[in-house]
Amino acid sequence: IASKCNIVYIIFYKQTGIIFNIFRTCISTSFIKHNFSDKVFGFGNFQLGMTDVEASKDFSLITGYDTLVSRSFAVGGGVKPAQGWMMGASYSQPLNIMSGNMHYKVPVGRTVDGQVKFNEGSADASTKVIEHDLGLFVQYKVDDRFSMAGYGEHRLNVAGTKNNDQTSLGVKLNWKF
């Protein structure tokens, strides 16, 4: 299990001054690989993160966030049917926000005496449509200097967009000289 925390400072410039937004993210990652036998293996990982965002309350329509909780994971398995050959499949969900709210303050009009009226509220920032990725791979190691691989991936709801599906196929040749 590995963990790390990052602090990212995002600076926005505006005519009235500088706006600082600070993102603090802590991520915990677990990874496992297991050989069930000489020919069958499995693998997986799970990542859980918490992000704290400090938004400018003075110059931004977004006035803050609750702690955003995100996750991603992948599982897969494969076989080694013959010397030099390996093939398998995987299923994964890329990083998505599980929970957290965004708070906003939007100007909606002016009073008779010129004061700005605001609409304040919160919106759910969690991912509504989850991406799912399915993959297949095959690899053949000819010798210590040359190997080749093929892969296919079908992504459902790419980037959280419903019915935005993509399929990709590829071939990789690796020659060490």
**Quick one: average pLDDT of 84-104?**
95
Question: Who wins on pLDDT, 168 or 21?
Answer: 168
Does residue 61 carry a pLDDT above 90?
no
Give 82's strand partners: none
Please state, in angstroms and rounded to a whole number, the distance separating the CA atoms of residues 141 and 87. 12
Comparing C-alpha atoms, which of 96, 91, 98, 103 is closest to residue 66?
Answer: 103
Q: Which long-range contacts (CB under 8 A, 24 or more apart) does 161-165 make?
A: 161/129, 162/129
Query: Counting beta carbons within 10 angstroms of the beta carbon of residue 40, is it exposed (0 to 12), middle (13 to 18) or buried (19 or more)?
Result: middle
48-52, 81-85, 130-134, 139-143: lowest mean pLDDT where? Answer: 48-52
Does position 62 have pLDDT exceeding 80, yes or no?
yes
- Here the tokens at position 74 are 């992948």
Q: Binning pLDDT at 50, 70 and 90, where does residue 4 land?
A: low
Spatial distance between the Cα atoms of 150 and 135, rounded to a whole number of angstroms = 11
Task: Give residue 113's region: left, alpha or beta (phi > 0; psi -120 to 50).
Answer: alpha
